[in-house]
Amino acid sequence: MKVKEIIKNIFHISFSTQHELASTFLRFQEYYESPKFRGKIFSFYEYKKWYTANSPKGKKTGKFTYYKDWGGFNIPSYVLKPFYQGKFNPLSNKEKKFLRAFKNKANIKFYIIGTVASNVGLKHEIAHGLFYNNPQYKKEVIKILSKIDKKNREKINDYLKKRGGYHKSVWTDETHAYLITQSEKIKKSGVNPSIVSKLNKNLNNLLEKYLKVSI
């Protein structure tokens, strides 16, 4: 596990394998955005039982596939608070190591993104970090997304619901990140392809503008 501040107050943690990445982030991430466990205290056992029964792959196989399903993670710093307070005890060794990396940053607002060492998905996660940390970037993203008509907006929301794992409070953020790096998946969900292509271009141009200033 390697930690690097890649943009001011946005920290990137890279892992050697996807399994190590996902098993470390699981409870932090799902406390933040799970449609079932957002804002709740839960054990690994409780989450694994629920995910197996409710994820698309779990329903088909009866297996816990989370560690293979998710290759990128992102959380705001406030998510760490209940873990530091002992509410999630017992912590795994991986969670303890993760928390030690940020124990001296309790008084600042920051964002954490995680990928495997190859940096696959890094752009997607950086977009999340800027959306959370940079009010002007967020304002401009929302302005671009506001041009999506109701019918296509509903199709995108439906895709995020079927994808599993996203609380509705993060749909706007996820929509913008998916449109930047995974627009083909949005097209396949039935959203007008020309609209998706235009949004992809505009959001990528916006992201590049802010990266030039931030890095």
- Domain ranges (residues) in the chain: 2-122, 134-214
Could you check whether the bond before residue 90 is cis, i.e. omega within 30 degrees of 0?
A: yes
Tens digit of each residue's pLDDT (9 = 90 or more) over 31-67? 999 999 999 999 999 999 999 999 988 888 999 999 9
Name the phi and psi angles at 167, rounded to 5.
Answer: -70, 145
pTM over 0.95: no
Strand partners, 49: none
What amino acid occupies position 147?
A: K
Model pLDDT for residues 145-155, shown as the tens digit of each residue: 999 999 999 99
Give yes or no for a contact between 10 and 129, defined as CB atoms under 8 angstroms apart: yes
Q: Please report the sign of the dihedral spanned by the C-alpha atoms of residue 214, residue 97, residue 73, residue 29.
A: negative
* Closest CA relative to residue 14, chosen from 161, 114, 88: 114
